[in-house]
A and B are shown apart, each in its own frame.
Chain A
Amino acid sequence: MRKKFIYFALIPLVVISIVVYLFMDSWVTSALESAGEAMTGAKVEFTRLSVSVSPIGLKWQGLQVADPKEPMKNLFQTGRVQFALNFGQLLRGKYIIESMEVNNLILGTKRTTSGALPKKPAASKPSGGPSIFSSLMTEASSALGVNKLQTPNFDIASVKKVLNVDSLTNPNNLQSYRMIDSLKGQLQAASAQWQTTLGEIEQTKQKLMTAETNIRAIDVNQLKTVDQIASALNTVKDGINTANEVKQTFTTQETALTNQVTSFVSSAKAINDAVNQDYNHIVSLARLPDVNMKGLSQLVLGKDIMATADKYMYWIAFAHKHIASMQQTQKEPSPPRLKGQNIRFPEERGYPKFWIKKIVISGGTDKSQNPDYFYASGTVRNITDNQRITGQPMTIDLLIRKGASETLKLDASFDRRTDVPLDVYQAELTGARIGTMTLGRSDFLPSKVEGINAEASIYVKVPGNSFDSESKIQFSNMNVVFETQPKNEVEHIVQQVLQSVKAFNVDLRMWNAGNQFKMAFSTDLDNQLASRAKAVLGAELASFENELRNKLNQQIAAKEKEYEALLAQKRDAVMTQLKGYDSYVNDGIAMLQGKQNDILKKQQDMLKNKANSLLNGLFKH
């Protein structure tokens, strides 16, 4: 071996190797922390990370990933984690991990320092959540109406005091009133048009009159010769043709006019619909409560449920976005010379670029577990950048425990094997102590529920850009504490009912069909509230509603009569004239046909006489 090689190649190589070996751990730690922080948007910190050479792999004693939404808490932290890479596949540029061991995975632990990242001057895109769900929460809030839902006023006496019925039924505010005015205007305009049409009919009538005059002038007795009869017959036939033309024109115009008149008669019926709409609008302005109490528990529970849904949807969106993004393929750099052709040979086992086959998670076995934290254990399988090669979807099977009784069993799968990605989550929560949950709103029944227990079953399916979730939650052991005294009868009822209720169920379904977000919220609390509220408020409400209805009907009735009178006047005028024209045309045609018959009879008589005189002459000779 040449000496120069030892001095210039071998020794530098050994020195570089030593430097790399000494600093490798800190370089890898730094790279992984940066990548993790870019992904989560919060601090990611490794403790004592080390790279092992044989087998090649990583090991660390602790990892903390801060919650970007609550920087003083960790999303999760782990104890010792270790895994080895498949060396053979690493040489091919593939990162294959057969099994990863994660110890002491704990969720939601407190941090001693803030996990927030220093703010960058340039606006950066948010790392998680958004994408297809960016508007989901906005739509969900809108669908549930939590933000814009107006509190119904349950105090009928105060409603009556404050409410100005005259103002509510002011004609200027009524759609039906404006509609009648509009119809009157349209009727006046149509009436003018009808007169024009009648004028045109009058002109055609003149043609018929002229024909009639000509034919009346024919005296059948004065027709002495065959030629005179033939000429008279032609005149009569022309007259009949003219009369038929006039009849046809008249019929067409009569049909058009009748249709228009009929449409105005039927539009009068639409006034009733408008009156009903006005009534509903007035009731909503008065904020009268629905006696069925439908939606009351939505108002009471909606805020808290939306806050919880918002929290979990963020992470569903996060998973959907980041797992999908792993599928991006890297472009191979093209060699400078003729590329040649790569010939593929059968592979014993095809591997994707990145694949963690199995992560075994243990939530720790120590007896001194903090009851405030969530300890997770289970397995995560097949984290990869290309599920089409592995042929397996990514799955999560976790059992998360908190304290002695609270457990959450979470099964999830992320399928990217087909063109349409499919995420499915199934969670079963048992023995959860929610502690304190806020109910109501500042303007309606502000209250807290203490010591509440919850059990929930949640199913979420995210195929492509669609979304479908179904949650069944059972609350029990509840004790409601109201922050203020009841302001009215219904609040009093609701307070009484809620205080007596120790358990209730909530079903919540949220899904999107096409571009439309839909939500179905139901709870048996509604029925409990409704039966009590109906008994107290039903009669009083009905009476007040009748009062409003009568006032409205009064306002509209006079106006409606005006319109009906005008319509009757215009309609009668047109129909009378049409009737007159109809009988005149029919009479004229009858007269013309009579005259034609007379002339024909005269013609026959003349021919008969002529024949008789010819026969008599024959016998005389």
Chain B
Amino acid sequence: MFWIKFVTNFLKILRAGQTPKQIAGAFALGAIVGLSPSLTLQGVVIWLVIFMIDVNLSAALFAYGSFALIAYLLDPIFHSFGYFLLVDVTALHVFWTYLYNAPLAPLSRFYNTVVLGSFVSGIILSVPVYFGMKKFVVAYRTHIHEKVEKWKIYQVLNRSSLIQWYQRVRSMGV
């Protein structure tokens, strides 16, 4: 049930509501935490940012879930990238050593190849994701939405008695 609601909500926010910037920003932040494994300091900070600033939560959650799935496949690449940054780039060693001995930095687990690789990848990817998503939302609202509404799957999802019953129950405040 949850995922159906999740997808319909996402389609709904693409269609109307918050601005493309808010949706794209949430999506980019969700992508960063989605790519990073386990609970880390930077993950908590990004979640706090998501909750505090006025970005779209559904978009952030959607991005988090989607990118977490992709991250499983990309972990070997993240490991190689992280290893490259931590070991092969000797110029960074002084910086890493400083962080390693700093009070809070170890909570970020930056010294782990997968954590660092995925986080840096997430930061880098967040820029194209942000702009790409922003353009996509604008395009969706102007052109794509009309086409999507004609899709059978969209109609099935939207008119599903199950969905309607779920929305009715939700509206009752249970």
Contacts and interface: CB of A to CB of B under 8 A. Distances in A.
Contact of B52 (A1, A91, A342): A1
A344 B112 CA distance: 9
A335 B101 CA distance: 23
Contact of A5 (B52, B93, B113): B52
Interface string A306-344: 000000000000000000000000000001111111111
Contact of B103 (A88, A341, A344): A88
A339 B54 CA distance: 34
B107 A338 contact: no
Contacts of B115: 340
Nearest to A86: B103
Contacts of B106: 91-92
A345 B100 contact: yes
A119 interface: no
B82 interface: yes
Interface in B1-39: 37-38
B38 A335 contact: yes
Interface string A51-92: 000000000000000000000000000000000000110011
B113 A343 contact: yes
Given A339-B114, A341-B113, A345-B96, A1 B53 contact: yes
B52 A2 contact: yes
B86 A343 contact: yes
B167 to A, nearest CB: 21
B93 A345 contact: yes
B47 to A, nearest CB: 10
Interface string B77-116: 0110011001100000100110011011011000111110
Contact of B87 (A1, A5, A343): A343
Contacts of A5: 51-52
Contact of B51 (A2, A91, A338): A2
A479 B123 CA distance: 88
Residue with the greatest number of chain B CB neighbours at <10 A, chosen from A5, A87, A88, A337: A337
A2 B79 contact: no
A227 interface: no
A340 B114 contact: yes
B101 A341 contact: no
Interface residues of B, number: 31
Interface stretch (B68-76, B147-155, B156-164): B68-76
Contacts of A1: 52-53
A346 B38 contact: no
Contacts of A443: none
Contact of A91 (B93, B107, B112): B107
B113 A87 contact: no
Given A2-B54, A91-B106, A336-B38, A342 B111 contact: yes
Contact of A340 (B72, B82, B87): B82
A162 interface: no
Nearest to B71: A337
Contacts of A87: 103
A348 interface: yes
Contacts of B117: 340
Contact of A345 (B78, B82, B103, B111): B111
A9 interface: yes
A119 B161 CA distance: 62
Contact of A341 (B72, B100, B112): B112
A1 to B, nearest CB: 5
Contacts of A336: 37-38
Contacts of A341: 79, 83, 112-114
B77 to A, nearest CB: 10
A347 B113 CA distance: 18
Contacts of B75: 337-338, 340
A342 B54 contact: no
A338 B79 contact: yes
A336 to B, nearest CB: 7
A299 to B, nearest CB: 65
Contacts of A92: 106-107
A335 B113 CA distance: 13
Nearest to A5: B51
A342 B117 CA distance: 12
A2 B87 contact: no
Given A342-B112, A345-B111, A337 B104 contact: no
A9 B104 CA distance: 23
A337 B82 contact: no
A518 B54 CA distance: 80
A216 B96 CA distance: 118
Contacts of A343: 83, 86-87, 96, 111-113
A98 to B, nearest CB: 16
A5 B78 CA distance: 33
A338 B114 contact: yes
Nearest to A92: B106
A137 B53 CA distance: 70
Contacts of A342: 111-113
A339 B75 CA distance: 9
Contacts of A346: 97, 100
Interface of B: 37-38, 51-54, 71-72, 75-76, 78-79, 82-83, 86-87, 93, 96-97, 100-101, 103-104, 106-107, 111-115, 117
Given A340-B114, A341-B113, A345-B111, 19 more contacts: A1-B52, A2-B51, A91-B104, A335-B37, A336-B38, A337-B38, A337-B72, A338-B78, A338-B79, A339-B112, A339-B114, A340-B75, A340-B79, A340-B115, A341-B114, A343-B83, A344-B111, A345-B101, A347-B100
8 contacts: A91-B104, A336-B38, A337-B114, A338-B79, A340-B79, A341-B83, A341-B114, A342-B112
Query: What are the nearest 8 A-B pairs in CB distance?
Result: A340-B114, A338-B75, A88-B103, A345-B100, A337-B37, A340-B113, A343-B86, A345-B97
Interface of A: 1-2, 5, 9, 87-88, 91-92, 335-348
